[in-house]
Amino acid sequence: MKPEDLNLQQSLQFDPKRGIVKLGNSRMVLSGVEATGALFQELINIGDTPTAQVVMRRFGEASGYERARTVMAEFNPSDKMEWLAFGPALHAWEGIGLPKLTSFDYDPATEKFHLIVEFRDSYLAEQYVRVLGPATEPVCWQQAGYIAGYCSEVFGMQLHCRETKCVAKGDDHCEFDTRPRGDWL
């Protein structure tokens, strides 16, 4: 299957008698986005913003790694570029938002990797503003972690992603910059 042929309605397996939804062997959960807003609020209440960032980023990264593995197992992409393309296709179907790869430079021989993703309609930015109001810095920490985890699994590199623009702080879209971890140090 090609990423552009993905139809999550046909790919999900619903078993309401057992209370289970699956994508291949990976169990999925459908939940309202308002719960994410409440999660932002609670993480900040019990810790602080840096703690919330770390928790959300790690959660996103674990999700990204797992989703990349599921894509490989279920859709058997023909190469790394096709494997990468399933990430944005899934996000659009899942209601996460609408990602668009705007810049990509990859050279496995030199371990050069640089990916820019423009992201429209981020539910994370939406929920942060709904619960906490406008932000002064990017807040889509879970999404940054997801992109890093997904790309790290696909390309076999330790990658880190930073959000450089965010709707929650007034930008017209969110934007994510992914590079090898060492490039950020």
Residue 101 confidence (pLDDT) = 95
Domain ranges (residues) in the chain: 3-184
Q: What is the pLDDT of residues 63-84, one digit of tens each?
A: 999 999 999 998 999 999 999 9
CATH topology of domain 3-184: Muramoyl-pentapeptide Carboxypeptidase; domain 2 (3.30.1380)
Q: What is the pLDDT of residues 34-54, one digit of tens each?
A: 887 788 888 888 878 898 899
pTM for the structure as a whole: 0.90
Of 74, 47, 72, 43, residue with least CA distance to 142: 43
Percent of the chain scoring above 70 in pLDDT: 99
Residue 163 confidence (pLDDT) = 98
Judged against a pLDDT cut of 80, whether residue 90 lies above it is answered with: yes
Percent of the chain scoring above 90 in pLDDT: 63
Where residue 15 falls among pLDDT bands split at 50, 70, 90? confident
Interior CA angle at 180 toward 179 and 181, to 5°? 110
According to DSSP, residue 104 is labeled E
Q: What is the pLDDT of residues 106-151, one digit of tens each?
A: 999 998 999 999 999 999 999 999 998 999 999 999 999 999 999 9
| Higher pLDDT among residues 111 and 165, named by residue | 165
Q: Are 86 and 42 in contact (CB under 8 A)?
A: no
Interior CA angle at 178 toward 55 and 152, to 5°? 75
Q: How many CA atoms lie within 13 A of 130 on its CB side?
A: 14
| Higher pLDDT among residues 183 and 115, named by residue | 115
Residue 55 confidence (pLDDT) = 92
Q: Which helix (H) or strand (E) holds 177?
A: strand 174-180
